[in-house]
Amino acid sequence: MRKVAIVGIGHTVFGNLSEFDLVDVMSFASANALEDAGILKDRKIIDQLFVANMGGGIINHQTGIASALVSRIDLEPAMAELVENGPASGASAIKCGFAAIASGMVDTVMVTGGELMRTVTGWKGTDFVATLLHPEVEYNYGLTLPAFAGIFTRMYMERYGLTERDLALVAVKDHENGARNPYAHVQIPVTVEAIHEGENAHVINNYVAEPVRLYGTCPVSDGAASLILCAMDSPKMKYFTKKEPVLISGIGSATDTHCVHHRKDPLDLKAVHLGAERAYKMAGLKPEDMSFAELHDAFVILELAISEEVGFFQKGKAQEAVREGVTRIDGRLPINTSGGLKAKGHPVGATGVSQVYELVKQLRGEAEEGRQVKNPKHGLAVNFGGFGNNVVATICSKEA
Amino acid sequence: MIIDEMEKKLRPPEMGLKPYPPKVITLASGELMVVREAKREEVGVLLETIHPLMGVPKDFYDIVAARMFAEILGWYRYRVANEFVLVGAIDGVIAGIVNSRCVDEKVGMSLHTIAIKRGLRAGAQLFAAKMEHHLENIGEEQVYIVAESPIGFKRWMIEYELENWEDRYPQVSHELGGVPTYVLTRKLYDAVRDQKVTGTRPVDPAVLATADKLKAPDEYAQIPGFKRGK
């Protein structure tokens, strides 16, 4: 299998970009990646574009997005396809790009993920994301993603002694990182006193789906991120001299039952566990080799649960690591250095690409002051689709 | 003097509103936002704060700022009946402004909400304070509310689940643009009060003193690179 490197990265700010259309936003990130890779003029060397998006057809009334983007950024006649895997669309698109290069089908791929969610009401936004649930036995009974997060969090609390204060600590840590990330949707640090202990906390940090509170949930965001991938053995690598390439050393995914109630134990996120295991195996690495990680914290409980499933902590022990500061930027294993979905935002189709963007930025040593991990070698990203039914794990490494 | 008589005619009748008791809210950042009634002599700094936003089309800041500017100027020069202005200040720097007016003893007419500080729901807290003043302090039974921006619509119409009085239009309309109105009734307010309204009273005198002298912000998230002219 050919080695695949990431040779260019691009990102828009996450937040309210509703004055632009979806393809505009994606083209901003794509152009940014072309510039980062140093091939803005030579962009026609891109063989294939994979676009990640979940809701264009539903909330933006736009389909054929890959065809629109390839034309908007003047990449024709490159091949172009859309990849949709719910909130894990971004990492799935990376996986498709990786496979296309590794198999020898193409040499260079652009992967761009984007979503425009703030043009609709919160109701409509929640409704659109909930279309990934089972339409008859889940959504019909009022289950949405925040509702699942509430149930999951309650079960976790009862079994492992997790407290609302622990959840607030995760949010504080994520916002601290997000405040230093110029692309984050919410660039404001928050304090545990204000969102958990203070007299006004019940309103400032109100319940969204008890026991999940506002600061236990990601914001609804617009935004896009983009990557350029190239085969390390390709003659086209000569174009990419501007930055050090970062290797995709492992990538794996796995699925679980569509309906959460079909799982023997809803707290077991088997697809996360298996997806990460496959990525570790491909990379020849172990959890303890990871220098940092970007984990899909659409709800902060997921940061804790995923960090256990990928082997960083024993089951039910992640909150202890948070209390001890292990996952802070200066801790032993920094998690969500970008601010995570919690502070950086979660434009669903963009998220998986944005997570890997962060891995590359950290591995290049380009993160902003105060959120750069010391001498990172390997980073793990987990992009969580459905309520854990289709998950992709990606490991990036500094080239040895 | 004839001009005095004319001026008297130009000024609207006043109900005499109860004062708004100040409160302090700890925002998620840990910053303390004092919420208090603005005084007539503070109109200068209020207008200075609002003015730059009149050039920001994003999120309809331009319309909201232009209208609020005129309403506050109208309050200062006695051209709006029964208006009140509340201000949120962090270390004396204005974080947001809301204004409103009483139509009569039963009906309030919400005018505008402008958040300078973004990302901490300062605007949402100030809007809630405005409703608190109408319904709890002044004792009105309902408040007419419209939104000019999608953000306002999401925050007020949806989050408060306001009654849509479109079917009573044009007999009942909102003064802002003469559009169909939404209404916050006492029943709706009571249903959401505990999730929407917060603040600590009485305010520690030392904290309250930080908002004695209001200052216009030096930075606006809405205007990158903003520099205030001298």
pLDDT in tens, B55-70: 999 999 999 999 999 9
Q: Is residue A143 part of a domain?
A: no
Q: What is the pLDDT of residues A100-109, one digit of tens each?
A: 999 999 999 9
Q: What is the pLDDT of residues A261-273, one digit of tens each?
A: 999 999 999 999 9
- Residue B119 touches chain A, beta carbons under 8 Å: yes
Answer whether residue B229 shows pLDDT above 90: no
A136 vs chain B: nearest CA distance in angstroms? 26
A139 alpha carbon, distance to own chain's centre: 24
What pLDDT sits at residue B4?
87
Q: Phi and psi of A51, rounded to 5°?
A: -110, 135
Minimal-distance CA residue of chain B relative to A168:
B28
Burial of A122: CB neighbours in 10 Å, binned 0-12, 13-18, 19+: middle
Q: What is the pLDDT of residues B82-91, one digit of tens each?
A: 999 999 999 9
Architecture of domain B16-209 in this structure: 3-Layer(aba) Sandwich (3.40)
Nearest to B30 among A119, A187, A194 (CB): A194
Answer whether residue B104 shows pLDDT above 60: yes
What pLDDT sits at residue A123?
85
B195:A206 CB<8 A: yes
What pLDDT sits at residue A349?
98
Q: Is residue A263 part of a domain?
A: no
Nearest to A200 among B119, B158, B198 (CB): B198
What pLDDT sits at residue A3?
97
Percent of chain A with pLDDT over 70: 100
What pLDDT sits at residue B227?
87
A68-76 long-range Cβ contacts below 8 angstroms, 24+ apart: A68/A23, A69/A23, A69/A26, A69/A27, A69/A30, A69/A112, A72/A23, A72/A24, A72/A26, A72/A27, A73/A27, A73/A30, A73/A31, A73/A34, A73/A43, A74/A43, A75/A43, A75/A44, A75/A46, A75/A49, A75/A110
What pLDDT sits at residue B2?
64
pTM of the model: 0.93
Q: How far apart are CA B102 and CA B15, in angstroms?
A: 8
- Contact list in A for residue B158 (CB cut-off 8 A) is 121-123
Q: Contact, A396 vs A229, CB < 8 A? A: no
A350 vs chain B: nearest CA distance in angstroms? 21
A333 vs chain B: nearest CA distance in angstroms? 25
Q: What are the b/e assignments for A4-24, b being 16+ CB within 10 Å?
A: bbbbbbbbbbbbbbbebbbbb
Nearest to A193 among B30, B128, B150 (CB): B30
Nearest to A191 among B29, B121, B153 (CB): B29
- Residue B193 touches chain A, beta carbons under 8 Å: no
Q: How far apart are CA B25 and CA A203, in angstroms?
A: 10
Give me the mean pLDDT over the A129-144 stretch: 93
Answer whether residue A88 shows pLDDT above 90: yes
Secondary structure of residue B222 in the 3-state scheme? coil
Interface test with B, best of A123, A190, A200 (most B CBs within 10 A): A200
CA of A26: how far to CAs of A14, A68, A224, in Å?
12, 10, 5
Count of the separate structural domains present in chain A: 1
Nearest to B30 among A18, A119, A191 (CB): A191
What pLDDT sits at residue A75?
98
Q: What is the pLDDT of residues A215-251, one digit of tens each?
A: 999 999 999 999 999 999 999 999 999 999 999 999 9
- Contact list in B for residue A189 (CB cut-off 8 A) is 29
Minimal-distance CA residue of chain B relative to A196:
B28
CATH number, domain of A56, equals 3.40.47.10
| Percent of chain A as helix, strand, coil, to the nearest 5 | 40, 20, 40
B198:A195 CB<8 A: no
**Residue A193 contacts by C-beta under 8 Å, 6 or more apart in sequence?**
B26, B30
Q: What is the pLDDT of residues A59-72, one digit of tens each?
A: 999 999 999 999 99
Q: Is residue A308 part of a domain?
A: no
Answer whether residue A56 shows pLDDT above 60: yes
B29:A188 CB<8 A: yes
The domain of A78 spans 4-120+220-239
Tell me the ipTM for this assembly: 0.86
Nearest to A203 among B153, B158, B198 (CB): B198
B32 vs chain A: nearest CA distance in angstroms? 10
Under the banding of pLDDT at 50, 70 and 90, the label for residue B230 is: low
Q: Where are the domains of chain B?
A: 16-209
